[in-house]
Chain A
Amino acid sequence: MMLSPKLKSKCQRFISKAVIYILLSCLGFVIIYPLFGRVMLSIMDEYDLYDDTVRFFTRRLNFGNYSLAIHYMNYWDSLFKTVIYVLTAGICQLFSSVVIGYGMARFKFFGNRLLFMFLLLSLIVPPHLISLPLYLQFQQLKLLDNIFSIAILCLTGVGLKSGLLIFIMQQYFRGFPKELEESAMIDGAGPIRTFFSIALPSAVPMIATVFLFSVVWNWTDNFYTSTFLPGNTFLPRMLLGIKGVLQFDQQTRYGVFNLVISSLAENAGVLLLIIPLIIIFIVAQRYFVESIENTGIVG
């Protein structure tokens, strides 16, 4: 059987599209499934859980879980504080990882290798091991419960997972062609100007990724915030507290406490924690799509 070349290429394209959709859908299903369960649970009524005929799809639509979660997490207020905190930490981490990553990738100074080894060591050492001495240090400086403590950690590249962010940028700049920067140097631009006008614009997809990581990690982190900002009311802490507070409240009001209701409220709280991050991703993802073709740099 002979196929015309046009038909053949059409067939090939169809098959490759089909493969993409099937593979991504299968893998995506595995990821979505538990989350789908959470979403379905969040609109269930307490009685749905006792009802054996209910699987996934509620019979008694109920948005009360969300209002409970919003009330007990003090949602809007803590959302606002979380956003401020995450933006501060994120911008500091972004700045430090780009600058330090560039410095380590581009300049051959004495001690560069040693610094790189410390970078890897900082990836290996889990934060809980060094948190106590750091806590004491910040206590002496009277910087506890002050956002400066986090800002200092992030700016100096030792904040929450900063090591990985620096590592990403460092490897990116090492793979970036040096010739462009050298020609800028010959034209009379200093290293700092070269950095801002040549290296930075080309790194937009990487910068967007690093910033996104930083935002997500700081958003859901409870370790750094509870260590250095013990009085914080950010979303993760409110979410972890929701069950206890709700149970206590029920007990004092009605003399009984209901584990199911507090679990349902906690589940709704989890979704309320995730939703802003998904919105941020949808807004930010176009920076991954725009590759360097738009920046006018040709490798």
Chain B
Amino acid sequence: MKTKGSLVSRRQKYGYVFVLPYILGILFLFLTPIVQSLMISFGEVSTEKGFDIIVKGIQNYHHAFRVDPRYVPLLLESIGSMFATVPIILVVSFIVALLLKRDFKGRLVFRCIFFLPVIIASGIMKTLEFDDILSSAIVPGQTNLVTGEVLTTSQQVVTELLLNSNLSPAVSNYIITGITNILNVLNESGIQILIFLAALQTISPSLYEASAIEGATGWENFWKITLPMISPHILVVVVYTIINSFVDPNTNIMLYIRELTYEKFMFGYSAAMSWIYFLVISIFVALTFLITRPLIFYRDK
């Protein structure tokens, strides 16, 4: 009777049916190009006779760390800005999603407004500059609408207020960057808000009904039902936000890598820089998984 296999192994085979397209995609359309780029990072591209790779060993990597004066500071800067923005984005988008989930008049309008960042932070919208000629008709002086410098006066007030208070400089600096970046933060939180919103909608109302019968307060509901039920999605959002803050095409390090690739055609060196950068990002993503593993509630266990 062993011809049919056990239930478990038959289920396993069905798993392959579901992920088969992905295995093909990863093997042929993802790993092949990736391996090529890894090879390029250990050499230099020669276009004299078609597409050749001249192997140079770890020279490119050595160059990135020991010769190039710009690379390492840019790397550290991107790590710093990740720590500065990710927590703010997470908190803001979670609060907004909680508010948008509630039932109130005009909810559709607000949902539309908070959907706009998804568009604004996507594709060509991100690279289209607001013309200086045009912004002069809206905002007096030199301000740039896209970077959110329109709130300058209120920023100054807040900055002075924080500096005069007895908070430690580190804390007040953190708050100041949060406030001056509020438009950036909101523009980056569109996707997070929508993921949280959809996740909140998938929580079964019967859980809240049951807890209401038990006499639980809203505060207890939040910690014992809402948070655990959407914790898998919190993981998605944390990982996505971390990665997004690193690979945002407008960060200085990405601009630098692109400049070397497309303007100076240093394919080998820019590939090596990209690979170091991936390694750094991967470390942070792995750390996120390690730290959050005990905190995430899966119902499949």
Q: Which A residues fall within an 8 A CB radius of B?
A: 17, 20-21, 23-24, 27-28, 30-35, 37-38, 40-41, 44, 48-49, 54-56, 96, 99-100, 102-110, 112, 115, 118, 120-126, 128-134, 136-137, 152-153, 155-158, 164, 166-168, 171-172, 174-178, 190-192, 195, 202-203, 205-206, 208-209, 212-213, 216-217, 219-223, 236, 239-240, 259-260, 263-264, 266-267, 270, 273-274, 277-278, 281-282, 285, 288-293, 297-299
Contact = CB atoms under 8 A, between A and B. Distances in A.
B130 interface: yes
What interface size band does chain B fall in?
35 or more
B33 A103 contact: no
B122 A171 contact: no
A34 B131 CA distance: 12
Interface in B226-246: 229-233, 235-236, 239-240, 243, 246
B12 A156 contact: no
Q: List 6 tightest A-B contacts by C-beta distance, closest first.
A: A103-B18, A107-B15, A156-B25, A220-B123, A130-B33, A133-B33
Contact of B202 (A41, A174, A292): A292
A223 B262 CA distance: 14
Interface of B: 11-19, 21-26, 28-34, 36-37, 51, 92, 95-96, 99-100, 102, 104, 108, 110-120, 122-125, 128, 130-131, 133-140, 145-146, 148, 150-151, 182-183, 186-187, 191, 194-195, 197-199, 201-207, 229-233, 235-236, 239-240, 243, 246-247, 249, 254, 258, 261, 271, 274, 278, 281-282, 285, 297-300
B14 A130 contact: no
A132 B40 CA distance: 12
A216 B115 CA distance: 10
B232 A174 contact: yes
A256 B237 CA distance: 50
A216 B122 contact: yes
A140 B112 CA distance: 44
B146 to A, nearest CB: 7
5 contacts: A109-B15, A122-B26, A174-B300, A206-B198, A288-B201
B134 to A, nearest CB: 5
Given A120-B239, A158-B26, A110 B12 contact: yes
Residue from the set B22, B135, B148, B285 with the largest chain A CB neighbour count within 10 Å: B22
Interface centre among B199, B201, B298 (most CB of A within 10 A): B201
Contacts of B119: 216, 220, 274, 277-278
